[in-house]
Amino acid sequence: MAYSAPEPTVVLYKSSMCRHCTALSNIWDTAPSKDDESVTGALKKVYPKLRFYVLTAKDNTGRFDENTAPKDIVRYGKWYPMILLIPGKTWDAAMSKLGPKNDVELVDGVQIMNGFWDKGELKYQQKFDIRKSAEFAKWLKEALENEDFKRVQNGSNGIVVPTIPAQSHPIQPLLTNIVRPANTNMSFIAAGNTDKYPSVDSSGDNICSMRIISRPR
């Protein structure tokens, strides 16, 4: 019998104190109008067998019960909502040994919507508008074509992940240097160095911030 790699998983990592997370949750599984579609609906049109997992942290520290979700997801608690595409085999391995002793790292091949790793530091780069379902589809098409993702997802079995070529068009950045938003319509919560949340920045704009969490080694 031919080997079939486990299907990849899209993870929505959010905070219960994040208003942007609430807005995204409202369209995650439910179409906002008859002329639009839900986020999961748009993603399934790109990859019908895609799996989904929603993880909600109690607050903007990103902490959660490690017995219900892979421990290493906390490394992505830099801003909210956080959307990840995780290779199937990696996700299944992490889910198979939940708890504080889970040592499966969710890094190799993982694709981050509007984010990337730079010398071990997770950085934000506004490219896709998470207020629009169609933007998620554009991101997924691009993420599925990423060479690192395909390497981990396909393994050495030569299985080709079905994808559709994508053309992504950058939109106006919503954040400047992560900490301070460029306007009040930002899609993500910015990471900050404050110990209080939610907070108000000096310009009077309401923003949600979080305490910095060191990336697990």
Contacts of 117 (CB under 8 A, 6+ apart): 107, 123
Model pTM score = 0.74
Torsion of CA 214, 118, 148, 65, to 10 degrees: 20
What's the chain's average pLDDT?
79
Report the pLDDT averaged over residues 3-20.
92
- Note whether 47 and 92 are within 8 A (CB): no
The distance in angstroms from the start CA to the end CA of the chain is: 38
Give me the count of residues in the chain. 217
Q: Which candidate, 54, 147, 52, 152, places its Cα nearest to that of 104?
A: 152
pLDDT at residue number 78: 94
Q: Which candidate, 128, 169, 139, 181, places its Cα nearest to that of 19?
A: 181
Could you tell me the residue ranges of all domains in the chain?
9-157+166-207
How far is Cα 133 from Cα 24, in angstroms, rounded to an integer? 9
Within a 10 A sphere around the Cβ of 166, how many other Cβ atoms? 15
Ranges assigned E (strand) in 105-182: 111-112, 115-118, 121-124, 175-176, 180-181
Report the pLDDT averaged over residues 64-93.
96
Q: Which candidate, 140, 118, 117, 116, places its Cα nearest to that of 126?
A: 116
Secondary structure (3-state) at 83? strand
Per residue in 24-77, pLDDT tens? 999 999 999 888 999 999 999 999 999 999 999 999 989 999 999 999 999 999
Name which residue leads in pLDDT, 180 or 93.
Answer: 93
Tokens of 134: 């169609």
